[in-house]
Structure 1
């Protein structure tokens, strides 16, 4: 028995004063209406209705149950209306976390369009290269790059791809020359990037014509922030390898020069992640959909 449907049928029978009219109003067979009422009475172990050949009346227990059914059905309709309105015009506080460079260079410049679509959302955008704990810190969702997402408490949706380029400042290349092969980087200064969470240094990977080269770097400097990383490269401290979306404008205006052309770097998948046990609210859903579209149309993110 569908308990909610049985409650709706019971209310209709009481309001209509009989089974036949209730069945007509609900566009159900009269036998179905009768069966649902009988099942409801059996489940409750009480008689709800007095039946005669001419009319149906409510028992004392039935009258009390009728009032509770009215309230329950009203609450259900209110909940459905609330969800519908929220889907149509999501509102309220939305807390999102994203890497600093990605937030500053890709997400924030596009936010005016987001707020045109969803003016009632109040966005709190945490910008950090530190990987936050969404559950502990009350974050609704986060944008993350990674091939393996190790936190089993999170659901991940892939929304884009991050491509990398290897560059150096003109002053550095004038001083040290151009490397011709990834292995030549052993003779160069490179700027290392390390995880703010684990302290682990990241190796560099290159591919060309089926050949794959992994380079473990030693350097004078390592940083854990994307803007500090590019600043180190601009200062001539060494070769850098950074996301294309961040480097492209600086390559175009001559602040960086692309090197090791012909060698490609393994792209990094980008995901939006959110806690698995948290209801995916309308505001989170529309943000995820918006970010997916944003990255799909970005020249370097798909």
Structure 2
């Protein structure tokens, strides 16, 4: 077997994930010709064409699809094995790559990393905050923190981390000016602030005792950032639907107040999603344990 097969496999899987040779070269910090040479060498070694290349896109052959699916699993297993061997000295090392939305990454994960990084000083931690859902499995991401249990690949698994309540809130100044809505239906007559990502979230589901319904809200301001949404709400620009962890401080100091406080506005379930081969990963489970301990799930 070619002694560099692990490197060639890594290059191939990175090309598939990145979608182009140039993007793969950037991720691996090498020149594009080196990527092309590695792919050619791998195809010669295996006696099979793995990719159809054009100026517009890369398309996997049947052999390439098989190699990517199985190869990714073996690369992850190899990485996990090396981490376990390094961990024999009882110190987590290597790298832990996490992706999450900006709201979750900034307000839940970043505070957690303060103590976590002190506890595991030899562990390199990389946090990518983005509203885009990065496809897994991936060499660049060990774990994704998501609000959906839907898995795009049968090789993936998920663990429930936390259930967080949605709240509808407004500033005292807004309520003094516009009046306080006492029921979900009355929100249709108020200025509301909308979050949008792949669609405008203007239909707010709720439960009031035995009553289950949806109120369609109206807004002149729409943003794709929960931080911006909260800033606008604090400034009195309207009513916002936010998660409890996002407004806990503002509720405590009175800068925001709950609207229709007896109404159940639903919740979000946060899951850790990762490849099944990493289920026994010491560094992943250390992070999951730390998250649950901090946030009480």
TM-score bracket, normalised by the shorter chain, equals 0.5 to 0.7
Q: Aligned partners of 2:139, 2:176: CA distance in 1, in Å?
A: 47
Choose 130-139 or 119-128, whichever is displaced more. Answer: 130-139
The structure-2 alpha-carbon separation of the partners of 1:95 and 1:85, relative to structure 1 and needing over 3 Å to count, comes to closer
Match of residue 12 from structure 1: none
Q: Aligned partners of 1:80, 1:185: CA distance in 2, in Å?
A: 54
Match of residue 294 from structure 2: 294
Q: Aligned partners of 1:222, 1:256: CA distance in 2, in Å?
A: 19
CA apart distance, 1:80: 8.0
The structure-2 alpha-carbon separation of the partners of 1:183 and 1:149, relative to structure 1 and needing over 3 Å to count, comes to same
CA apart distance, 1:85: 4.4
CA RMSD of aligned residues (A): 2.5
The 8 Å contact of residues 194 and 200 in structure 2, kept in 1 or not, is answered as no
Match of residue 206 from structure 1: 206
Match of residue 227 from structure 1: 227
Structure 1: runs of 5 or more not aligned: 1-78, 297-301
Match of residue 71 from structure 1: none
CA apart distance, 1:279: 6.9
Number of residues of Structure 1 aligned to a counterpart in Structure 2: 216
The 8 Å contact of residues 129 and 225 in structure 1, kept in 2 or not, is answered as no
CA apart distance, 1:280: 5.1
CA apart distance, 1:137: 7.0
The structure-2 alpha-carbon separation of the partners of 1:264 and 1:96, relative to structure 1 and needing over 3 Å to count, comes to same
Measured against aligned partners, the alpha-carbon deviations of 1:246-299 in whole angstroms (never above 9, x if no partner) come to: 111012222212110111121211101113466753322322222232222xxx
- Secondary structure in 1 matching 2:218: coil
1:83 has 2:84 as partner: yes
- Secondary structure in 1 matching 2:185: helix
1:192 has 2:194 as partner: yes
Structure 2: runs of 5 or more not aligned: 1-79
Match of residue 257 from structure 1: 257
The structure-2 alpha-carbon separation of the partners of 1:138 and 1:81, relative to structure 1 and needing over 3 Å to count, comes to closer
The 8 Å contact of residues 151 and 157 in structure 2, kept in 1 or not, is answered as no
The structure-2 alpha-carbon separation of the partners of 1:111 and 1:150, relative to structure 1 and needing over 3 Å to count, comes to closer
The structure-2 alpha-carbon separation of the partners of 1:224 and 1:124, relative to structure 1 and needing over 3 Å to count, comes to same
CA apart distance, 1:97: 1.1
Q: Aligned partners of 1:143, 1:210: CA distance in 2, in Å?
A: 32
Match of residue 182 from structure 2: 180
User: Larger Rg: 1 or 2?
Assistant: 1
Query: Any residues of structure 2 matched to 1:106-117 within 5 Å, and which?
Result: 106-117=108-119
1:152 has 2:153 as partner: yes
The structure-2 alpha-carbon separation of the partners of 1:155 and 1:170, relative to structure 1 and needing over 3 Å to count, comes to same
The structure-2 alpha-carbon separation of the partners of 1:269 and 1:173, relative to structure 1 and needing over 3 Å to count, comes to same
The structure-2 alpha-carbon separation of the partners of 1:132 and 1:81, relative to structure 1 and needing over 3 Å to count, comes to closer
Q: Aligned partners of 1:202, 1:136: CA distance in 2, in Å?
A: 33
- Secondary structure in 2 matching 1:190: strand
Q: Aligned partners of 1:175, 1:80: CA distance in 2, in Å?
A: 62
